[in-house]
């Protein structure tokens, strides 16, 4: 399994429980961990669940290393995921504005526990075909590598199972 539990503990300052999973075997991203097609399309996936007594949040993070600087979209930042069954899922951007050639963008997996669980259920059971990311200057489409589809589903499955606790 190509998953690594990066964080599983309690933040001593906030008392939040944090569970983070990287779609990677090691602590650093390697070219073999990228989830999309294209020579210069190095995109890496991680997902985290943050909870305490009163609330829960779930975020998926895409790390973009595209060889050129890109900027998060300040107003309409989102990702639209297309599954192999032609169904779609839209996630809203959670990150602030920033431009970089090594850029992390976080997306909300839902606003309520039921939304989060429904999103995680779909992400952990459907094969991702491709996704469109909206940047500050337009959008770009990325095709998911076929041999990464199960790894992506497994990443979300670990978070989904933890959300049930």
Q: What pLDDT digit, counting tens, does each position of 77-103 carry?
A: 899 999 999 999 999 999 877 888 888
Domain residues of the chain, as ranges? 4-163
Residue 131 · residue 139 · CB < 8 Å: no
Place of tokens 């790894």: 151
The whole-number pLDDT of residue 34 equals 83
Q: How many CA atoms lie within 13 A of 30 on its CB side?
A: 6
Q: What pLDDT digit, counting tens, does each position of 95-134 carry?
A: 877 888 888 899 999 998 899 999 999 999 999 999 999 9
The whole-number pLDDT of residue 29 equals 67
Classify residue 74 by its DSSP letter. T
Q: How confident is the model at residue 27 (pLDDT cuts 50, 70, 90)?
A: low
Residue 152 · residue 144 · CB < 8 Å: yes
The whole-number pLDDT of residue 108 equals 95
Q: 33 versus 26: which is more confidently predicted?
A: 33
């Amino acid at each position: 399994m190509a998953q690594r539990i990066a964080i599983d503990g309690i933040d001593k300052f906030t008392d939040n429980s944090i569970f983070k999973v990287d779609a990677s075997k090691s602590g650093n991203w390697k070219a073999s961990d990228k989830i999309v097609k294209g020579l210069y399309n190095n995109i890496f996936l991680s997902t985290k669940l943050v909870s305490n007594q009163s609330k829960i949040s779930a975020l998926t993070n895409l790390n973009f290393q595209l060889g050129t600087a890109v900027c998060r979209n300040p107003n309409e930042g989102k990702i639209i995921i297309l599954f192999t069954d032609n169904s779609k899922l839209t996630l809203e951007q959670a990150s602030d504005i920033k431009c970089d050639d090594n850029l992390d963008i976080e997306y909300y997996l839902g606003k309520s526990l039921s939304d989060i669980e429904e999103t995680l259920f779909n992400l952990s059971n459907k094969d991702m075909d491709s996704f469109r990311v909206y940047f500050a200057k337009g959008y770009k489409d990325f095709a998911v590598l076929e041999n990464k589809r199960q790894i992506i589903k497994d990443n979300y499955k670990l978070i989904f199972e933890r959300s049930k606790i």
